[in-house]
Amino acid sequence: MTAENIPKATAKRLPIYYRYLNILHDTGKERISSTELADAVQVDSATIRRDFSYFGALGKRGYGYDVDNLLNFFKQILNQEHLTNVGLVGVGNLGHALLNFNFHKDGNVRISAAFDSNDSIVNTIQDGVPVYPVSDLANQLKEQQIQVIILTVPSEVAQGVADQAVEGGVRGILNFTPIRISVPDRVLVQNVDLTNELQTLIYFIENFGK
């Protein structure tokens, strides 16, 4: 089965499996069952087995999964050996927090360029990352071959910035703004609505957490 045929829900869980397998590897664990993995990552074992089945026979009945073999497999699937440079557009409070988070310490992603319209930080270095004027977004994305951006700009300018990013050849946008931006089919958008997530959490606490 090709990557295009993997369900999106499964694809979203793969990094979770990969991170926990890294923890198991570091502790010297050699094998794990789907039930043990389910307890650790809070995904039921039937879902885990179904997720893994999309990639063929990754385990053995009665034995479980070899941790190192599974870790190496997901490392290739998730392209963990290749460093991906990401652009951050919008260096406000959330943008600064993301810069400070320092993705490259925790995986194969690194924010290598930031963009903003604030003259006080443009052409400076913030948390080790150069900040360029947002007006130069398209050119810098092309020049630095950045194909993924994180969008943390005000809602009223989000679509315009997304248009510039598309012009610069971006292929993926992690959108932290509350609006749903319009992009060509060739560009993937992952929306992260923190307010919605928090309201959903509160709803479940109020209705199912008692």
Region 102-114: what's the mean pLDDT? 75
Residue 136 near residue 87 (C-beta atoms within 8 A) = no
Residue 94 annotated in ligand binding: yes
Q: Report domain 84-196's class.
A: alpha beta
Residue 56 marked in a binding site: no
Asked if pLDDT for residue 161 goes beyond 50, the answer is yes
| pLDDT greater at residue 59 or residue 87 | 87
Four-CA torsion 109, 190, 148, 113, nearest 10 degrees? -70
Q: Known binder of ligand: residue 59?
A: no
Residue 51 confidence (pLDDT):
87
Question: Was 175 annotated as part of a binding site?
Answer: no
Statement: residue 153 has pLDDT above 70: yes
CATH fold match for the domains 3-77 and 84-196:
no
Domain residue ranges of the chain, discontinuous segments joined by + = 3-77, 84-196
pLDDT band at 62 (very low <50, low <70, confident <90, very high): low
Q: How much is the pLDDT for 17? A: 85
Compute the distance between CA of residue 80 and CA of residue 99 in angstroms, rounded to an integer.
20
CATH topology for 3-77 is Arc Repressor Mutant, subunit A (1.10.10)
> Is 21 marked within a binding site?
no
pLDDT at 169: 96
Q: If residue 75 lies in a helix (H) or strand (E), which one and from where to where?
A: helix 67-77
**For the residues 163-173, what does the mean pLDDT come to?**
96
pLDDT at site 1 = 43
What pLDDT does residue 2 have? 43
**Residue 160 assigned ligand-binding role:** no
4-42 tens-digit pLDDT = 578 888 888 888 888 888 888 888 888 888 888 888 888
What crossing angle do the helices spanning 45-53 and 34-41 adopt, rounded to 10°? 110
pLDDT surpasses 60 at 202:
yes
